[in-house]
Amino acid sequence: MNDMIICRCEDVTLGELISHIENGSQTVKSLKLQTRAGMGICQGRTCRVLVEQVMTYYADESNIISSSVGTNFPIRPIRLAELAQNGKGDP
Ligand code: FES
């Protein structure tokens, strides 16, 4: 079960997250910074809730420090011609 992928973009497993929690990660943000979970191309749209649930389930509640994790919008490449035309029509 520890081989279960939690963050597909960064290939982070449940076991890695549990290991970091056991070694003192007290916030979702620190877990994110240590493992890169949530920092992949989807920017956590797929895994953010899972990472939060792992933290809630495996961490000692008295050690959890509440912190908000900002959400970043995914970035996708666009052609300069699209940008120049403000996204209207074909280049
Ligand atoms: S699945 Fe974790 S950043 Fe995309």
Residue 29, Cβ neighbours under 10 Å: how many?
Answer: 16
- CB of 20 shorter than 6 A to ligand 1: no
Which sign does the torsion angle of CA 47, 52, 53, 55 carry? positive
Query: β-strands 5-7, 12-13: how paired?
Result: antiparallel
Residue 37 domain boundaries: 5-67+74-84
User: Does the pLDDT at position 36 exceed 80?
Assistant: yes
Residue 90 lies in a domain: no
Residue 25 lies in a domain: yes
Judge contact between 51 and 64, C-beta under 8 A: no
Question: In total, how many domains does the chain have?
Answer: 1
Q: What is the pLDDT of residue 59?
A: 84
Query: How far, in Å, is the centroid of ligand 1 from the Cα of 67?
Result: 19
Region 37-42: what's the mean pLDDT? Answer: 92
Average pLDDT, the chain: 84
Region 59-88: what's the mean pLDDT? Answer: 71
- CB of 51 shorter than 6 A to ligand 1: no
- CB of 31 shorter than 6 A to ligand 1: no
Q: What is the pLDDT of residue 71?
A: 67
